[in-house]
């Protein structure tokens, strides 16, 4: 690999990274997108259908991801399969890949996203996108008038349960502790609804189904009693993990590990921009990830007087 200095290297090929790459290409920047898996397009690729992206109602997550990738390829955005394992700061930043190869660039765009914490129970991974979901607002509409379960006891889990209670026949709220962690206001709202049933001190042992979710096997941690709940969907809300391993010790992170940025996606050091779900922000959705890519390129242009 040569030592030519890029204008920018985009680490991550999800919607945020691809959006930045498209805007960067239009600005005639010397760039490259690095992806661990050249066929990956972020979390959207495992979303069954996308109902909340303007103008593309009902598009499959994978289909929409492929459209994003095709758009970038038509503009001749260069892609490189590899994993960044280390970043050295400087006027020219050095990115070391797992292979030992190195890239040199004036700017780094971190678009490594965040990943949902998984239950790691039997059946979960197999049924992702077939009834197992990590986003109630994304996928809840597909379970209208059906029975579903939400797993978790924090703010997001209770908000998901409330949202789903408006469109689903019944919502089971499963939490492994004997009390919820969300605000009292949210707890009062949840306990006040007849179609939300709390299953506290319970853990999910297995999500059951051949091709789609059919039921959930749970165990009561106090009594040891096991039960099987009939449900068509399982919404797992036990937190997120940002993909910030490569910038720990380089960039400033918040207490949850997300990269701290300003509204223009600039990080704590010059020449670094964080985009998409990896950065501090109020809303992590497809539309905000795509917007981040455009905003960050604009910031780069301002910073470099392009």
Instruction: Quote the distance between the C-alpha of residue 67 and its chain's center.
Output: 19
CA distance 269 to 247: 11
Identify the active-site residue in 7, 41, 51, 139: 139
Orientation angle between helical segments 15-26 and 61-74, nearest 10 degrees: 20
Per the annotation, the verdict on 168 as an active-site residue is no
Residues 19, 41: Cα–Cα separation, whole Å: 12
Return the axis-axis angle of helices 155-165 and 184-191, rounded to nearest 10°: 30
Is 265 a residue of the active site?
no
Catalytic residue among 41, 121, 135, 265: 135
Q: Return the ∠ at Cα 16 (arms to 34 and 58), rounded to 5°.
A: 120
C-alpha 281/C-alpha 195 separation (Å) is 32
Helices (H), the chain: 15-26, 61-74, 136-139, 155-165, 184-191, 286-303
Q: Which of 41, 121, 138, 168 is catalytic?
A: 138
Give the whole-angstrom CA distance, residue 131 versus residue 49.
12
Inter-residue contact 183 to 209 (CB < 8 Å) = no
| Tokens coding 217 | 């096997």
Which residues are known to be catalytic?
Answer: 135, 138-139
């Amino acid at each position: 690999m040569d030592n030519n200095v890029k204008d920018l290297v985009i680490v991550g090929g999800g919607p945020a990274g691809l959006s930045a790459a498209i805007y960067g290409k239009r600005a005639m920047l010397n760039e490259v997108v690095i992806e661990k898996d050249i066929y990956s397009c972020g979390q959207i690729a495992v979303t069954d259908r996308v109902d909340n992206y303007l103008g593309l109602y009902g598009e499959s997550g994978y289909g929409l991801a492929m459209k994003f990738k095709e758009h970038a390829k038509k503009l001749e955005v260069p892609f490189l399969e590899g994993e960044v394992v280390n970043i050295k700061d400087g006027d020219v930043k050095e990115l070391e890949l797992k292979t030992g190869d190195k890239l040199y660039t004036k700017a780094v765009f971190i678009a490594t996203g965040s990943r949902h914490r998984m239950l790691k129970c039997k059946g979960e991974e197999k049924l992702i996108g077939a009834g197992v979901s990590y986003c109630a607002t994304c996928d809840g509409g597909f379970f209208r008038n059906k029975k579903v379960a939400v797993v978790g006891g924090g703010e997001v889990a209770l908000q998901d349960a409330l949202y789903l209670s408006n469109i689903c026949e019944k919502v089971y709220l499963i939490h492994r502790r004997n009390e919820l962690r969300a605000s009292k206001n949210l707890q009062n709202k949840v306990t006040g609804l007849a179609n939300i049933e709390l299953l506290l001190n319970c853990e999910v042992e297995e999500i059951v189904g051949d091709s789609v979710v059919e039921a959930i096997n749970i165990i009561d941690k106090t009594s040891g009693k096991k039960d099987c709940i009939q449900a068509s969907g399982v919404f797992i809300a036990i937190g997120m993990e940002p993909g910030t391993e490569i910038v720990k010790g380089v960039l400033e992170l918040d207490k949850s590990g997300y990269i701290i940025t300003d509204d223009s996606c600039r990080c704590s050091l010059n020449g670094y921009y964080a985009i998409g779900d990896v950065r501090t922000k109020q809303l992590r959705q497809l539309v905000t990830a795509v917007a981040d890519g455009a905003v960050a390129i604009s910031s780069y242009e301002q910073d470099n007087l392009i």
